[in-house]
Structure 1
Amino acid sequence: MTEEDYHRYIDAFNARDYDALETFFADDFALENAGFRVQGKPAFRAFYAFFHEFCREEVIFKEFFPGRNGFVSNVVIRFTGIKNLSADVLDERGYSGMSVVPEGVSVDVEFYIHYILNKAGKIQFIKGAVWVPEAPAQG
């Protein structure tokens, strides 16, 4: 996948165009993030149908780092609460590692996301890591 392809991927994600987005995925791809795993396209759609009912996500591109078997991207994801989502509901759905964004609140979170591609160039595996900048020294 090239950086240009990745921009099309981000555009599809931001537009909630899951049909276009899934053209980038292997059939059995997996997404791991915040302590939970989504395996396959049906589980991906189910997760985002649920999550995007409560929270809008906008991916803001920063950098693209190509590698031998995939790539890493540096993005900021802006999470905006659409309606309140409780930790209990997240736990019930199996997404207990996620943080809650209250209704009407926007939070920008910087991620490094590792994408592993299969031999056909489709996304086989996605795993995100949150960048937590060092706090300024108190003096």
Structure 2
Amino acid sequence: MNRAGYERYAQAFNDRDYDTVFDHYAPGASIRYFGVDLGDRDAFKRFYRFLHAHVIETLTIERFAASDDLVALEGVIRVEGVRDLDAATLAAEGLDQFIPIAKGEVQEMRQYIHYHLADGKFTSVGCAVVGLT
């Protein structure tokens, strides 16, 4: 996958086009974020529909590298609360590990994300968060 292909993926994510985003993953891909298994289309869409009902989340790519079997990037995830998302609501969804956010609050996280590839599709993804910027 080249930078232009990844930019299309990132744009689909920013546009909340969950089916297009999920189509970038190979069948059986390992998709886990912060302990949440998003390995099938329904789980993926359910999680992001819930999250994006409370926040606007955007990815800004700052550094990008790719080969036939790996995409690696550094970027900033910006999360802006559009509706209060408190600890009780997160807990009810089984998302205790997430940080509550109030309407109007902005959180920015530097992330390092690695995608493993096979035949141009993501087979796994892992990310590390270094903290708020």
Determine if the TM-score, normalized by the shorter chain, exceeds 0.5: yes
Structure 1, residues 72-120: CA drift from partner, whole Å, max 9, x if none? 1111011000111122222221222111221111121110011112x32
Query: Which sections of structure 1, spanning at least 5 residues, go unmatched?
Result: 134-139
Return the offset for 1:63.
Answer: 0.8
Gaps of 5+ in 2: none
Question: Which segments of structure 1 move beyond 6 Å, counting only runs of 4 or more?
Answer: none
Q: Match for 2:125: what amino acid?
A: I
Deviations 1:33-83 (A, max 9, x none): 223222211110010011100111011110112245222111101100011
- Give the TM-score normalised by structure 1: 0.85
Aligned residues of 2:68 and 2:120 also touching (Cα < 8 A)? no
Calculate percent identity across the aligned residue pairs: 30
Q: Which has the larger radius of gyration?
A: 1
Alignment of 1:91-106 (within 5 A): 91-106=91-106
Letter in 2 for 1:41: R
Which range is displaced more, 27-36 or 14-23? 27-36
Q: 1:67 to 1:94 in 2, by over 3 A?
A: farther
- 2:108 corresponds to which residue? 108
2:13 corresponds to? 13
Other structure's SS at 1:21 match: helix
Indicate the structure with greater strand content. Answer: 2
- Root-mean-square deviation over aligned CA pairs: 1.7
Q: How does 1:1-139 map to 2 (within 5 A)?
A: 1-67=1-67, 69-117=69-117, 119-132=118-131
For residues 64 and 15 of structure 1, what CA distance do their matches in structure 2 show?
20
Q: How many residues align?
A: 132
TM-score after normalising by structure 2:
0.89
